[in-house]
């Protein structure tokens, strides 16, 4: 079981299978908002789907329009269940904030250590208050046990 703290940009709870990207992704031109599929022909993870997954990446990549694409994907339910970034990205934060405000749909966005997180393992983001979240990933069968509140 891997567990670590992260800073909540948009606090909330999410769980799903991780999709760990080695390179940043621009949502503008990089994601098909109708399907959640990565369509950027130059991205090494082209063809993967972000929908319902915990998207892990170093950061966002450009175009301020990525915020509107992320907000629309959240509205259409084709967005990731949550996003974990190694470094803060204001553009993605704006997209998540707008979706929360306009559509009342919250998608957690956190910044923390992404080292060692692996694709296709059950992963969760848990809001523990005071702008703090916990990232948990477990390679054991049976999924992630409930977070203990010691």
Query: Which residues are marked as active site?
Result: 63
Dig out the tokens for 130 from the structure.
């005071």
Neighbours of 130 (CB within 10 A): 7
In the chain, the N- to C-terminal Cα span, in Å, equals 17
Query: Residue 106: which residues within 8 A CB-CB, separation 6 or more?
Result: 10, 12, 96, 99, 100
Q: Which neighbouring-strand residues pair with 54?
A: 18, 82
Q: Which helix (H) or strand (E) holds 16?
A: strand 14-20
């Amino acid at each position: 079981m891997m567990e670590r703290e992260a800073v909540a940009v948009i606090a909330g709870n999410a769980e799903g299978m991780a999709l760990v990207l080695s390179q940043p992704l621009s949502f503008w031109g990089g994601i098909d908002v109708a399907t959640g599929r990565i369509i950027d022909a130059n991205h090494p993870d082209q063809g993967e789907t972000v929908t319902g997954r915990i998207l892990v990446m170093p950061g966002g990549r450009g175009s301020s329009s990525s915020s509107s694409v992320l907000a629309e994907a959240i509205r259409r339910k084709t967005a990731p269940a949550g996003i974990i970034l190694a470094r803060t990205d204001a553009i993605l934060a704006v997209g998540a904030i707008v979706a929360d405000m306009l559509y009342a749909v919250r998608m957690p966005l956190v910044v923390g250590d992404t080292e060692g997180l692996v694709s296709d393992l059950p992963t969760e983001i848990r809001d523990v208050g005071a702008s703090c979240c916990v990232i948990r990933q477990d390679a054991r069968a049976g999924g992630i046990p409930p977070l203990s509140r010691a």
